Amino acid sequence: MIWRRPRPDVRDLLSSRRREPDGGTAVLPSIALVEQLLDEFGLKHSIDDDGDLVVRWERCSVYFFLYGERHEVLQARMYMNRRFNVEARAGLALIMDEWNRTKLFPKAYTVLPDDGMVGVCAEHCYDFESGVTRGQLKYTVGMWVDTLLRFADWVDEQT
């Protein structure tokens, strides 16, 4: 007979809080925590009329959303303030395709809001179901904001 160690339930391992080697405790992201991180980066932020966390720049705005049963999925979505006529959408889609083909992130696309003008968006998203340390989340949010702003610069150069 071969002795086998009982295998723990993977869901229990993923949902438990655990200590990281650097001493940080893995937690789920929250809007309050993201606000603290934005403060540490010196970024002015607010909660809009819909209750969403937003950082606004002259060219664009970055929104932070939480999804999932336990709000474990964090998304940063950038909307460019600049809008385009509907006739420009095909050309913009080609530009977005070029970005998506040559860059790893963020994901870029066009949107057609109710005003009939074409908007340009980009986003990062990650499922932190197993938790994240504060340091890891700070690095992630900082990298996301940086790459979203770089994308906005790139779009302005292309159009």
- The architecture that CATH gives domain 24-158 is 2-Layer Sandwich (3.30)
pLDDT-based confidence at 24, cuts 50/70/90? confident
In our burial notation (b when 16+ CB lie closer than 10 A, e otherwise), range 74-106 reads bebbbbbeeebeeeeeeebeebbeebeeeeebb
Q: How many CB atoms lie within 10 A of CB 126?
A: 15
In this prediction, residue 22 carries a pLDDT of 57
pLDDT of residue 114: 86
- Paired residues of 132 in beta bridges: 27
Mean pLDDT of the chain: 89
- In three state form, how does the secondary structure of 64-94 look? EEEECCCCCEEEEEEEECCCECHHHHHHHHH
pLDDT, one tens digit per residue, over 111-129 is: 998 899 999 999 999 999 9
For the stretch 68-82, pLDDT in tens is 999 999 999 999 999
What span, in angstroms and rounded, lies between the C-alpha atoms of 117 and 123?
A: 20
Q: Which of 20-24, 96-100, 109-113 has the weakest average pLDDT?
A: 20-24
What are the structural domain ranges in the chain? 24-158
Return the H-helix or E-strand segment holding 61: strand 60-67
Q: How far apart are the first and last CA of the chain?
A: 70
Say yes or no to pLDDT of 18 above 80: no
pLDDT number for residue 23: 56
The answer, yes or no, to whether residue 87 has pLDDT greater than 60, is: yes
45-47 and 53-56: which strand pairing? Answer: antiparallel
Across the range 25-49, mean pLDDT stands at 96
CB 103 within 8 A of CB 97: no
17 CB burial (10 A radius; 0-12, 13-18, 19+): exposed
* H helix or E strand, kind and range, residue 45: strand 45-47
pLDDT at residue 16 above 50?
no
> What global pTM score does this model have?
0.83
Length of the chain: 159
